[in-house]
């Protein structure tokens, strides 16, 4: 303006009160001096523009009171600001080149004042850690709260157990109501757990598996483990979710047993069993617990327990030895099996032990070998043939006493792979001798037929029904002198 006054040799006096201006001309007068003065003033006025900016009613008083400071904060060349009363409008007057810039700056300033005036901070204290964790896990703030209160900022402080909210007053109030309602509608379920099972539940692997299962099944719930009480607390967004989460926890860990058998006991005392158990534990992450009943309990994740039991049961069944009793059809067959079938039976890693009576054999070994050995013994027992051979021959007693008879029998047994049994002989009798012999997987026996034997004692004689005289006396018959037509009998 000063530049314009100097160039046009004028002086402009403004009268804001009545929206007018007086122009004094100091140059040489002419017919057009008035027109030139008006043109000069008008050209100056055309350099400026104005715009109106609405102001929220809630902050109108604050804007009026802080108008000058608002104006000074806009720029070094601030615009002219005026409050249009009754309209809640702020008028901006500035050079046309700067008016948009001033308008944007003023809008930002008014928005800040409105936010400050309507902004609210609120803290919800004494919130349990499980409720905070449930809110984070279910993303309650990011989903449900964000839809209803998009401008509210929520901060969950797990150390101080509080929820801090800030944002527009009305939205903050809504958010607080939603959080409190969510807190009231949650459902809690406490589960008392078997101590052995709790040890598995209270591990990182199991906890991660539970979280994963809840997520996959879209269950809105969290779990808290209380070691002192051996219990699990389930907190769900509703009764339904809490119940479903409890089922997940209950079904996550299994406790099953291997029924102990007598044949397992000796194997379970070995280093090989201990080493195998360590291998299974390392791979399946299960725990072992031996109860007073003797049964071995396995506790762990359900899938791991099934796998561990299969491995352990297979190891026990394939490595444990047991003893079974086998009754032979006869004592002869038992003797034959002991002498000639023992090596074939032991090929199945089965040991054969003689029983206390004439019929019993004891087999010890693994189940598979015992089954095969028992089948073999059964088959051999059925195939054995028994044959009796009767002998009537003078001098049998002498031959038996000499020891040569047993030797000859032993040769026959070894050559023919048969068992020959000689029945007890009464050396004080004479008569017929009977025997039975078999070969090729058979048994044989030699026995004395004593049905018609006569006992000879002292010195004496007798006559037969055919008229023959028989006399006897103690002594060596080979040294006796006899008459012709006489027969010497040796008893």
Q: pLDDT for 97-121, tens place per residue?
A: 888 888 888 888 888 888 888 888 8
In terms of phi and psi (left: phi > 0; alpha: psi -120 to 50; beta: otherwise), the region of 285 is: left
In terms of phi and psi (left: phi > 0; alpha: psi -120 to 50; beta: otherwise), the region of 256 is: beta
pLDDT at 296 over 90: no
Q: How confident is the model at residue 243 (pLDDT cuts 50, 70, 90)?
A: very high
pLDDT at 72 over 60: yes
Which of the listed ranges 20-34, 220-234, 290-304, 314-328 does the model predict with the highest average pLDDT? 220-234
Other beta carbons within 10 angstroms of residue 284's beta carbon come to 20
Measured between alpha carbons, how far is 399 from 406 in angstroms, rounded to an integer? Answer: 9
Task: Decide which of 436 and 408 is more confident.
Answer: 408
Q: Give percent of the chain above pLDDT 90.
A: 18
Return mean pLDDT, the chain.
78
Three-state secondary-structure class, residue 269 = helix
**List of E strands, 261-331:** 287-290, 296-301, 322-327
Domains and CATH numbers, the chain: 47-118 (3.30.1370), 125-185 (no CATH), 322-383 (3.30.1370.10), 387-479 (no CATH)
Residues 84, 55: contact at Cβ < 8 Å?
no
Q: How confident is the model at residue 470 (pLDDT cuts 50, 70, 90)?
A: low
Other beta carbons within 10 angstroms of residue 312's beta carbon come to 21
Vertex 233, ends 228 and 239: CA angle to 5°?
Answer: 165
- Give the model's pLDDT for residue 478: 60
Residues 44, 10: contact at Cβ < 8 Å?
no
């Amino acid at each position: 303006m000063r530049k314009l006054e100097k160039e046009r040799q004028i002086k402009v006096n403004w009268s804001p009160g009545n929206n007018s201006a007086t122009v004094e001309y100091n140059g040489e007068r002419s017919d057009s001096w008035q027109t030139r003065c008006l043109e000069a003033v008008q050209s100056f006025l055309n350099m400026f523009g104005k715009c109106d900016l609405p102001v929220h009613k809630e902050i109108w008083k604050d804007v009026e009171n802080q108008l000058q400071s608002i104006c000074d904060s806009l720029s070094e060349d601030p615009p002219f600001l005026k409050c249009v009363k009754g309209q809640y409008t702020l008028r901006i007057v500035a050079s046309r080149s700067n008016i948009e810039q001033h308008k944007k700056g003023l809008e930002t300033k008014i928005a800040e004042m409105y936010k400050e005036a309507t902004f609210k901070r609120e803290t919800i204290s004494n919130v349990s850690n499980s409720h905070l964790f449930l809110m984070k896990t279910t993303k309650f703030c990011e989903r449900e709260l964000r839809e209803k209160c998009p401008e509210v900022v929520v901060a969950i402080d797990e150390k101080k157990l509080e929820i801090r909210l800030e944002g527009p007053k009305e939205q903050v109030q809504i958010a607080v109501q939603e959080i409190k309602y969510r807190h009231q509608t949650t459902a809690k379920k406490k589960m008392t757990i078997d101590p052995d099972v709790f040890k598995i539940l209270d591990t990182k692997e199991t906890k991660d598996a539970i979280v994963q299962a809840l997520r996959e099944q879209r269950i809105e719930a969290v779990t808290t483990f209380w070691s002192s009480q051996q219990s699990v607390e389930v907190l769900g967004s509703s009764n339904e979710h809490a119940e479903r989460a409890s089922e997940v926890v209950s079904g996550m860990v299994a406790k099953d047993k291997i029924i102990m058998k007598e044949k397992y006991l000796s194997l379970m005392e070995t280093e090989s069993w201990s080493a195998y158990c360590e291998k299974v534990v390392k791979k399946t992450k299960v725990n072992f617990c031996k109860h007073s009943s003797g049964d071995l309990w396995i506790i762990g994740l359900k899938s791991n327990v099934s796998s561990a039991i299969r491995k352990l049961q297979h190891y026990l069944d394939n490595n444990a030895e047991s003893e079974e009793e086998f009754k032979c059809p006869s004592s002869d067959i038992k003797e034959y099996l002991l002498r000639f079938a023992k090596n074939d039976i032991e090929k199945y890693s089965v040991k054969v032990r003689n029983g206390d009576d004439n019929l019993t054999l004891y087999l010890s070994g693994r189940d598979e070998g015992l089954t095969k050995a028992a089948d073999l013994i059964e088959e051999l027992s059925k195939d054995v043939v028994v044959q009796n051979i009767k002998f009537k021959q003078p001098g049998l007693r002498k031959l038996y006493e000499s020891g040569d008879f047993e030797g000859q029998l032993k040769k026959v047994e070894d050559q023919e792979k048969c068992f020959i049994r000689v029945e007890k002989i009464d050396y004080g009798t004479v008569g017929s001798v009977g025997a039975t012999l078999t070969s090729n997987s058979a048994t044989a026996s030699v026995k004395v037929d004593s049905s018609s034997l006569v006992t000879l004692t002292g010195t004496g004689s007798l006559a037969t029904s055919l008229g023959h005289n028989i006399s006897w006396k103690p002594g060596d018959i080979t040294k006796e002198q006899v008459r012709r037509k006489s027969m010497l009998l040796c008893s």
